Amino acid sequence: MKQKIRFEKNIKDNILTVLESAEVDPGVILPLHEEDYDLEAISAACSEGFEAFLAVFRRRSFFPTRELSEKLFENAAEFFADPESDKLIIDFNDVDTLPGEDDFSLDDDDVELDELLDEDGDTKEDEMKEIDSEDDTPKFTPEDTSEHEN
C-alpha cells in the first residue's frame, strides 16, 4: 500500500502534526489519521537516536511498522535539525519491504471474465424451476410443542 506521511511544525504552539494518507485505489489518496506531538519532545528524542524516537513516536492510535518508522526517523532527523522547514512529506510503499515481490497488475488479456462465468453454465432454466418448485414454508400443527414453532 502506498502511503504519504506529512510532518507539519507549528513552532508557535510547539506542536508537530503528523498526517497519514494512503492510496486506497489507484490514484485515490484518502487521509487516514492525524496525530499531534510535543515538538520539543519529539525533536529531542530524534536527536537521541532511533529507539528514543520510536518510544515517543509510536502510540496506541498510531503505530507504524518498523520499516516505516526507520524511514520516518531518517527523514525526521534532517527535518528537526533545520529550523526553517515547517513541512515534510514522506512517501512509503510497503511493497518495497517485501523481498522478491513485484507490483501485481492484471492485464485485460490475462483473464477472460466471460469464459470463467460460462464454465459452469450447464444449468438450464427448467432445472432451476424444478429446484424452486418445492414449497419450503414450515408447517406447524397445534399439537407441535417444539421450541421452534414460532
13-58 pLDDT, tens digit per residue, is 999 999 999 998 888 999 999 999 999 999 999 999 999 999 999 9
**pLDDT digits over 80-130, tens only?**
888 889 999 999 988 777 766 565 566 655 566 666 665 555 556 655 566
| CB 53, CB 41: distance < 8 Å | no
Distance in Å from the first CA to the final CA of the chain = 50
Nine cell digits for residue 79:
527535518
DSSP-derived 3-state class of residue 100 = coil
Cβ atoms of residues 1 and 22 within 8 Å: yes
DSSP 96: G
Angle at 99 between CA 95 and CA 100, to 5 degrees: 95
CA quadruple 111, 113, 115, 118: dihedral sign: positive
